[in-house]
């Protein structure tokens, strides 16, 4: 790779311009500008080795040049990242909701409980909101952690908790009780902590099974009267929910990266 090609490559790479079309435009402009500079230097009688030194002296450090482009396209980069985040959250949440509802339907059918109750509008909406909130919090944590050097998870969790508190207060002022925000924050932080601080996959599964098993048991007891079949079915449903969340916590970063990479190619 020549000095000119290396300079162009580094400028485009360090500028972090999200759109590939924009990057190609910048690359063409830089190439044309550098070729004009090289032609002028040759016409002035400079040798090739001397031209390379003049080129580097004229254009300066690639990172400094890239900072200018990065500043110009900072708004576009923020919009791009927000869109990629929202699209990833929507795709993951939709897939997770479909999978969990399918498992819960099978469990309900197997235990002889009412499937119509499972798909009652209120139940489905509440569960969908819970899943969307969970996915949004989990992806938010993975994104915000990149902003910090030390105690990344802890700082990202505190920042998200502050954002959640502001959103909750806003909803409450409008007369709504967004329990799904609290649920999403708790479950998102829980599964992110499990993924970060528990290394063995078997231990992760065990922690999730115990926690969600107890949650399902407690939730079932809130309904009175409750039969043993309903108790087992509710616990099994919660266990399926927990395992779905655990699987999502493993796949979510890959899906998010794939979405981001695909959008960058547009």
Give 123-147 pLDDT, tens digit per residue.
777 888 888 999 999 999 998 898 8
Question: What CA–CA distances, in Å, run from 230 to 105, 114, 211, 257?
Answer: 14, 10, 19, 40
pLDDT in tens, 218-238: 888 877 676 777 788 788 888
pLDDT in tens, 2-27: 677 777 777 777 777 777 777 788 88
Report CA-CA distances (Å) from 43 to 24, 196, 234, 250.
28, 60, 82, 59
| Mean pLDDT, rounded, for 173-194 | 90
Q: Percentage of residues in the chain with pLDDT exceeding 90?
A: 21
Task: Read off the pLDDT band of 112 (50, 70, 90).
Answer: low
Tens of pLDDT, residue by residue over 35-93, are 888 888 888 777 777 777 777 777 767 777 777 777 777 777 778 778 888 888 888 88
pLDDT in tens, 145-177: 988 888 999 999 999 999 988 988 888 888 888
Token pair of 194, please? 């499990």
- Tell me what the mean pLDDT of segment 31-36 comes to: 82
Q: Tell me, what's the pLDDT at 206?
A: 96
> Per-residue pLDDT for 118 more than 70?
no
Over residues 105-131, mean pLDDT:
70
Indicate whether 121 pLDDT > 60. no
Q: Which of 177, 139, 185 is nearest to 160 (CA)?
A: 185
Q: What is the pLDDT of residue 146?
A: 82
User: Quick check: helix, strand or coil at residue 237?
Assistant: helix
122-150 b/e with 16+ CB inside 10 Å = b?
eeeeebbbbbbbbbbbbbbbbbbbeeeee
Residue 190 has pLDDT above 90, yes or no: yes
In angstroms, the CA 11 to CA 61 distance is 9
């Amino acid at each position: 790779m020549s000095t000119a090609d290396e300079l162009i490559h580094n400028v485009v790479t360090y500028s972090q311009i999200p759109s590939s079309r924009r990057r190609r435009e910048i690359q063409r402009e830089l190439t044309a500008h550098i070729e004009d500079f090289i032609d002028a230097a040759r016409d002035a009688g400079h040798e090739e080795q001397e031209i390379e030194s003049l080129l580097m002296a004229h254009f300066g450090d690639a990172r400094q040049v890239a900072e200018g482009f990065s500043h110009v396209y900072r708004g576009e980069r923020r919009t791009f990242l927000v869109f990629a985040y929202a699209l990833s959250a929507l795709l993951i949440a939709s897939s997770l909701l479909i999978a969990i509802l399918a498992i819960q339907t099978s469990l309900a059918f197997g235990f002889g409980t009412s499937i119509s109750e499972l798909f009652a509008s209120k139940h489905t909406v509440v569960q969908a909101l819970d899943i969307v909130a969970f996915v949004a919090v989990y992806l938010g944590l993975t994104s915000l952690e990149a902003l910090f050097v030390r105690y990344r998870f802890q700082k990202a969790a505190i920042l998200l908790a502050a954002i959640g508190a502001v959103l909750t207060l806003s909803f409450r002022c409008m007369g709504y009780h967004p329990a799904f925000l609290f649920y999403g924050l708790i479950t998102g932080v829980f599964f992110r902590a499990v993924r970060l601080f528990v290394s063995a996959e078997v231990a992760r599964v065990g922690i999730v099974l115990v926690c969600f098993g107890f949650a399902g048991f407690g939730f079932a007891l809130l309904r009175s009267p409750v039969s043993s079949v309903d108790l087992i079915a509710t616990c099994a449903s919660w266990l399926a929910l927990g395992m779905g969340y655990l699987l999502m916590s493993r796949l979510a970063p890959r899906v998010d990266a794939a979405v981001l990479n695909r959008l960058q190619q547009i």
